[in-house]
Structure 1
Amino acid sequence: MNSILLAFGALDARLATHCRALSLRRHEVAVRIGVHAHERQAAQRMWFDVDLCVKLDHAPAARDDISQTVDYDFIRDIVAREVGSHHHELQESLCDAIAQAILQRPEVHAVRVATRKPDVYPDSASVGVERVCIKPW
């Protein structure tokens, strides 16, 4: 797997040298999403990948204790809140809403959110979108 911290660092070197990356991978949720009539009948499986850059002063890990980092629970809570708020037409708008909600957290300096629908086409693993957002220093 490629380093997400180095990928963020390509956008701003400080993200690679002054932050810690935290990740949630292939978090699966049933989502009411889609523009087609058949997509409105039932929820669809979606996968969420979320990467955060947290400044080291918010996650120093100076001691082996949860108070020394950022607890991942809030990421799952934000995904659940945004997914459950209403029927979403587009992955793009859902992805953007999740990214913006996560970026509101003071300890998060940058975020990458990728969404994937694995059951759309029988000849494809998934279809998806991705969004990256960074706060000004």
Structure 2
Amino acid sequence: MTDRISVRGLRARGRHGVLAAERELGQEFVVDVTLFLDTAVAAARDDLSMTVDYGELAQDLVKVVEGEPVDLIETLAQRLADVCLSRELVFSAEVSVHKPSAPIPLPFDDVVVTITRSRT
């Protein structure tokens, strides 16, 4: 059985990017995560300890975005996936990092990197 818990549109300010201005000024990043796990026991017992506390997860994800800068949003996505997979019950995670203010000198809506990672 594969169940999903998703957090969509989580916003945090970070200083990620290869340009000096991105590091100095920072910008908003938007994160979407989907965790794949079995929630049947949690549902049967109505017990938060048997699933993932998405409020706690969101706080941990924001700490990563607000934390140590990286050049690539691919690297940021990997760090966020590591946070998701640190939850014992999660066997895989899909992470999307949106960079809506990326330094592109043309009109655009969004830049998104999406990765899927599983326990090895």
TM-score, scaled to structure 1? 0.75
User: Aligned-residue CA RMSD in angstroms?
Assistant: 2.0
Give the AA of the match of 2:79: A
Q: Which moved more, 1:122-131 or 1:77-86?
A: 77-86
* Alignment match, 2:4: 21
Q: Which has the higher contact order (CA 8 A, sep 6+)?
A: 2
Counterpart CA distance in 2 for 1:87 and 1:65 is 36
Give the alignment of 1:74-93 within 5 angstroms. Answer: 74-93=56-75
Deviations 1:86-124 (A, max 9, x none): 122110111001102211211101100000111124511
Asked if residue 111 in structure 1 is aligned to residue 93 in structure 2, the reply is yes
Give the AA of the match of 2:22: E
Counterpart CA distance in 1 for 2:80 and 2:51 is 21
**Aligned residue among 107, 110, 116 for 1:126:** 110
Q: Is the 8 A contact 1:51 1:112 kept in 2?
A: yes
* Alignment match, 2:21: 38
Counterpart CA distance in 1 for 2:80 and 2:53 is 17
Structure 1 segments unaligned to the other structure (5+ residues)? 1-17
Give the alignment of 1:54-65 within 5 angstroms. Answer: 54-57=37-40, 59=42, 61-64=43-46
- Number of corresponding residues: 118
Counterpart CA distance in 2 for 1:81 and 1:109 is 22
Structure 2 segments unaligned to the other structure (5+ residues)? none
The list of structure 1 runs, each at least 4 consecutive aligned residues, that deviate by more than 2 angstroms after superposition, is 56-59, 63-70
Q: Is the 8 A contact 1:95 1:130 kept in 2?
A: yes
